[in-house]
Amino acid sequence: MEPHALLARTVHADAWEQHGLLRTGRGGATGAAPGVRLMASGLPHPQWNNGDVTDPALVDVAALRAWYEPLAVPWGVRVPAGSAWPHGTFLFRKHLVLRDAGPVDAPAVPGLQVRVAGPNDLSTVVAVDAAAFDGDPALESAWIEPHLHAPGPVTVALASLDGAPVATGYVLRSDGHAGPAAYLSGLAAVPDLPDVPDRAVLAAVGAWLLRGAFTAGARVALAHPDTEEETVTLAGLGLAPAGALDVYVDLA
């Protein structure tokens, strides 16, 4: 088994366990069953309620159904890419990228200022995120709000260009099975920025988040690019391919 891929999957499962813990009291939960680590956010979307499969041969899908049933949320699983998995419907392959702690370089963007976002910045962070991803602001708000109230494990960045909010992202720190690690996600920039490429802004925000995470003690950082452009941006920050996860839904 490729060690970097195993490490990446373990960091991923640690991070999503932390997502479940952040939402305790809001419908969030964490758990385990043979061959799988389980979490739920409490939100009505399967992408935010998942099990990370560690050994497909050990998983009893009926036990997973029993765990999720009282939580009343749609859910899915993430399986090591290419593993035999006869359950549910294959949705997509989630590619992982990983890097060790160390210096993080990105070209400076003139006029860009990045700071830590707090609870009072919720509407601004959601507006930037929804504009970037064409998402539902109400649903995105429910996902983002706990991040802004958890300054220990989560740092949310809010970037402004000449005073106007233009980008966001977050890093979630964990110290689980993989040791001290950082999960970089949610990088988003308002589209069609004048005079500066979106990619440059996202690289600057990502570098700012990673530097903070490594300073705080993370030994590795993980991300999962969703587009070719994001793959290039993350590669520029030193994150290299480290395996993938196959996502399945409709197991209930």
24-to-43, 124, 191 alpha-carbon distances in Å? 12, 25, 34
Percent of the chain with pLDDT over 90: 90
Partner residues linked to 31 by β-bridges: 38
Cα distance between residue 209 and residue 196, in whole Å: 20
Q: Which domain holds residue 33?
A: 3-95
pTM over 0.85: yes
Phi, psi values for residue 141, rounded to 5°: -60, -40
Cα distance between residue 204 and residue 79, in whole Å: 32
Answer yes or no: do 70 and 20 share one domain.
yes
Q: Of 47, 65, 95, which residue sits at a domain end?
A: 95
pLDDT tens digit string along 137-172?
999 999 999 999 998 999 999 999 989 999 999 999
> Is position 251 within any domain?
no
Answer yes or no: do 39 and 111 share one domain.
no
Answer yes or no: do 191 and 226 share one domain.
yes
Answer yes or no: do 72 and 132 share one domain.
no
Cα distance between residue 75 and residue 69, in whole Å: 10
Residue 92 neighbours by CB under 8 Å, 6+ apart: 246, 247
Total of domains in the chain: 2
pLDDT tens digit string along 187-212?
999 998 888 888 999 999 999 999 99
Q: Specify the pairing of strand 76-80 against strand 50-53.
A: parallel
